[in-house]
Amino acid sequence: MFANGFSSSPSNTPPPFDRARFPSIEIRDNVAAVHQLLTRELHIDHVAAIIGFSMGAQQAFQWAVSHPDFVDLIAPYCGTAKTYPHGVVRLESAIAALTADAAFNGGDYASPPIKGLTAWAHHWSAWVTSQEWWRRELFKPEFSTPGGVLQAEVERQMARDPNNMIAQARTWQRHNIGDTPGFGGDHEKALRSIRARVLYMPSQTDLYFPLADAEYERAFISRVTFDPIPTLWGHRAGAGRNAADIEFLNARIARALGR
């Protein structure tokens, strides 16, 4: 994915497009790049399935709209075909927490903005799992207290580049399959255009991509199997942190592939 620190990103692109000057990226830009890789370089003109988690789920939907005959099945989980206003606002609050640190310096920081990264990590910790996950203290035995969860997330985020984080958040905010050429911004029309089979697996307790958003979208997809993940792990249900969620996803995907 563009801006992840491995592909072309704010952290590794030379001037004049370095840091906060990195170009705006859409989910469909990532899809276009991978489509070019597959077709021009690897000479692959059709795939059995595209499976994606979170922003990868957004890509899976985009594949089915941008290249309707390229794939037989998409399996998006813990992600939607559009980022709705609440998601935009939530991401904006994370960005605001990071950039409020004076050390951020408009993206031209000389050293990591520690206070901003810490605030971002605390924001992320509050949203990535469900409220019930916290009430039942499912962070145990890995962590003995909520503070341990926060500290681990701070340490994880300190390894990331802030400009990359913001660029990816902006890509997430802007996503709308309705912005694909030919749909005039109408995501419902774009969903109706999907010809591939869709195995749609939202997390029942996701605070990033709420179940209600996925239930709304399913009504416009003609060949959909809607199978929410029964979990208390929120968005992390798709991240491989809980054995029961892994088993659920693997079983559903294997069945959809006829294996």
Taking a C-beta distance cutoff of 8 angstroms, is the pair 52, 196 a contact?
A: no
- Cα separation, 164 vs 50, in Å, equals 25
Catalytic residue numbers read 54, 206, 235
Q: In this structure, what are the phi and psi dihedrals at residue 136, rounded to the nearest 5 degrees?
A: -85, 0
- Cα separation, 63 vs 79, in Å, equals 14
Tally DSSP H helices, then E strands, for the chain.
10, 4
- Cα separation, 86 vs 68, in Å, equals 29
What spatial distance separates the first Cα and last Cα of the chain, rounded to whole Å?
29
Task: Give the residues across from 82 on adjacent strands.
Answer: 176
